[in-house]
Structure 1
Amino acid sequence: MTAQGHLLFAVTCTLIAHKLELTPALADASLWQLVPLALGSALLPDLDHPKSLLGRRLPWISGPLSRLFGHRGFTHSLLAVGAGVWGLAQFQGPGLISVAVKDALIIGYLSHLLGDWLTPAGIPLFWPLRRRFRLPGLPLKSGGGYEAAFCLLTLALAGYWVQGGQGLGTLASLLPIL
């Protein structure tokens, strides 16, 4: 998935997580707080690729990650998610980061993995095992019109659902962020 696709899909996943009230913190938080945080973490897994959007901006991190793990290696695994959750938990508490911030960052990161799981290349969920997992039957080729249409359609449907079928007001107001 492209950076643009990951960002759109992060908004979709955040809207759905908020609507489903996956955690009490997500249910109570404002979408205006959740969406920017999810967007901020949605591109983190691609730090392992020097030519990615973040990789070009942070070459001193991207280069070593790429050499150590390659693209779609460790950073696209459940081990990385676990390490991230553990790391965020170290900063929770009074005056540090709230549960809503932690949950939104996790949603953004997981949205990236879910997006790449939809592509033919898949992701190594159980890295360091090399087996890649992907959704069978839905080859969402990275880039191009099909990916953009898929991301926009899922975002529109999530926005419509979140609004209870009353329109796409929240969705339209969130698009300038992207």
Structure 2
Amino acid sequence: MTGNTHIVGGIAASLAYAQIANHDPVLMLGAGVIGALLPDICHSGSRIGRKLPLLSKLINKVFGHRTFTHSLLFLVVVAALLNAFIPNEAVKAGFLVGMASHFVLDMATKKGIKLLFPLRMTVRFPVTTKTGSKIESIVFGVLALLSFYFGYEALSFYF
């Protein structure tokens, strides 16, 4: 999936989870977007990879693309780091929900992900699409609509 689809996926997922967890939706939204982009640190052409080119190239050289940074192991490592350094539960939850949304979206692509890294098994859904396809555009539209819906619902947190 493209960066824009990951962003809108992170927005929809974090706003939806904010309602369930009764966390501050604005904090979850911001953290969700960052979390949704983080797994692509392994790709130097990604949004986050372009912001941190040396780190991106190093991670890609060591692990490759869609392996460690797209795995449950990476999710656990990030969760441990967040618990150690970030006291705010909404930020931690948003970050992890954003990462999970990224994993789910990439499992819907033909290439899939190495969710169980270091095992070499590729995980993908039975029905997949190609990154940048018309189907991805439809997924983006649905996620955008869900983002508006959950964003509207999030306003009740403040009123």
Same fold flag (TM > 0.5): yes
Q: What residue in structure 1 maps to residue 29 of structure 2? A: 35
Aligned partner of 1:149 among 138, 145, 151: 138
Larger Rg belongs to: 1
Q: What residue in structure 1 maps to residue 114 of structure 2? A: 124
- What is the count of residue pairs matched by the alignment? 154
Distance 1:42 1:157, change over 3 A: closer
Deviation at 1:158, TM superposition (A): 5.7
Normalising by structure 2, report the TM-score.
0.88
Is 1:107 the counterpart of 2:97? The answer is yes
CA distance in 2, matches of 1:158, 1:50: 28
CA distance in 1, matches of 2:143, 2:51: 29
CA distance in 1, matches of 2:74, 2:84: 15
Q: What residue in structure 2 maps to residue 170 of structure 1? A: 152
Correspondences of 1:62-141 after superposition (within 5 Å): 62-92=56-86, 97-137=87-127, 139-141=128-130
Structure 1 gap segments, 5+ residues each: 163-168, 174-178
Structure 2 gap segments, 5+ residues each: none
Normalising by structure 1, report the TM-score.
0.79
- Alpha carbons 2:24, 2:90 under 8 Å: kept: no
**Root-mean-square deviation (CA), in Å?**
1.9
Q: What residue in structure 2 maps to residue 165 of structure 1? A: none
**How many percent of aligned residue pairs carry the same amino acid?**
32
Higher relative contact order (Cα pairs below 8 Å, separated by 6+ residues): 2
The structure with more helix, counted as a fraction of residues: 2
Q: What residue in structure 2 maps to residue 7 of structure 1? A: 7
